[in-house]
Amino acid sequence: MVTHFILLGIPNSDGLQTILFFAFLAFYLCALLGNLLILSAVFTDSRLHTPMYFFLCNLAMVDIGLSSISTPKLLAILWSQSRDISLGGCMSQVFFFHSLGSTECLLYTVMAYDRYVAICHPLRYLLIMNQRVCALLAAAAWIGSFIHSTILTSLTFTLPYCGSNVLDYYICDIFLLVKLACADTHVLVTVTVTNTGLAPLICFLLIFASYIRIVCSLLRMNSAKEWRKAASTCSSHLAVVTLFFLPCALPYTRSQLSQMLATFFPIFCTVVTPALNPAIYTLRNKDMKASLTKLRGAVFPTR
């Protein structure tokens, strides 16, 4: 019976280990530093104690978790060729990858609804998006994702693994583990494809519906000021949503390029996106930049 697995690393990366090591290390440090700065800025600045920044803090915690699932192991593979991972470690990677990935997807949907309420119902915004509602929405995203990932992980690791223990990638993935199982895997594959395909599709449609309502509301207002205000609050969210959902769609296309890019989908989700999200949310956000400047002044006071 298999007690550990061997991760071969990133396919077709021979001779690039040193370059990839420092590139992924830079992304990982940027993800940790950027998201920790967002959390510190929101916690220390009372002006940012609003629903939008509450959900942004949740997103920052998800990104810290996503970047820490597999990046340390990937760095170990690239630097010291440490390829072994225990059965428990592999199980943890599968669980947290699907749990945090689902949480991020649901948080984007909740944030789209928050923007819809803020723009379409500004006078009732604080009444609708009160603390209790925000806490319930965030809790539903975390708990729902936890249940979703628990089901997938349980189905995956109740299968017997009694053959090869070599995974041709740098992270434990359900579809790679299925190939090594010594049992019928049709149920697991069906459940996994349904969950990983249907859930993002529903979230995307809800986000799309929210922005359709926002655009319709702005067209009725016919105000340049309102358009600029909506653009400043929605552009960052639209950017991170695009970064999240575009790679999700690649495996469902049939082009040769998309298949090659789909190989790097987990890398993009767990290494690149967590590092880019903090930059996207701070570069065009005046309140966040002001809070970070204030935080820097408190940490490094000028004489």
The residue written with tokens 């949503």 in the block is: 241
Instruction: Yes or no: say if 182 and 162 are a contact pair by the CB < 8 Å rule.
Output: yes
pLDDT tier, 199 (very low <50, low <70, confident <90, very high otherwise) = confident
- The β-bridge relationship of strands 4-7 and 84-86 is antiparallel
Which three-class secondary structure string do you get for 175-204? HHHHHHCCCCCHHHHHHHHHHHHHHHHHHH
Residue 108, Cβ density class (10 Å: 0-12 exposed, 13-18 middle, ≥19 buried) = buried
Q: How far is 18 from 149, CA to CA, in rounded Å?
A: 34
pTM of the predicted protein model: 0.89
In terms of CATH, what superfamily is 4-299?
Rhodopsin 7-helix transmembrane proteins (1.20.1070.10)
Average confidence score pLDDT of the chain: 84
pLDDT tier, 250 (very low <50, low <70, confident <90, very high otherwise) = low
Q: What is the pLDDT of residue 146?
A: 94
Pick the residue with more confidence: 225 or 179? 179
Residue 170 main-chain phi, psi, to 5 deg? -100, -5
User: Is residue 65 scored above 90 in pLDDT?
Assistant: yes
pLDDT tier, 303 (very low <50, low <70, confident <90, very high otherwise) = low
Q: How far is 280 from 146, CA to CA, in rounded Å?
A: 27
Mean pLDDT in residue range 155-183: 84
Q: What is the pLDDT of residues 256-283, one digit of tens each?
A: 544 555 567 778 888 888 999 888 887 7
Structure tokens at 26: 């830079």
The total of other beta-carbon atoms located within 10 Å of residue 167's CB is 21
pLDDT tier, 75 (very low <50, low <70, confident <90, very high otherwise) = very high
Mean pLDDT in residue range 181-206: 81
Structure tokens at 22: 């420092």
Pick the residue with more confidence: 158 or 260? 158
pLDDT tier, 127 (very low <50, low <70, confident <90, very high otherwise) = very high
Q: Give Cβ neighbours of residue 211 (< 8 Å, ≥ 6 apart).
A: 112, 116, 234, 238
> Domain map of the chain by residue range?
4-299
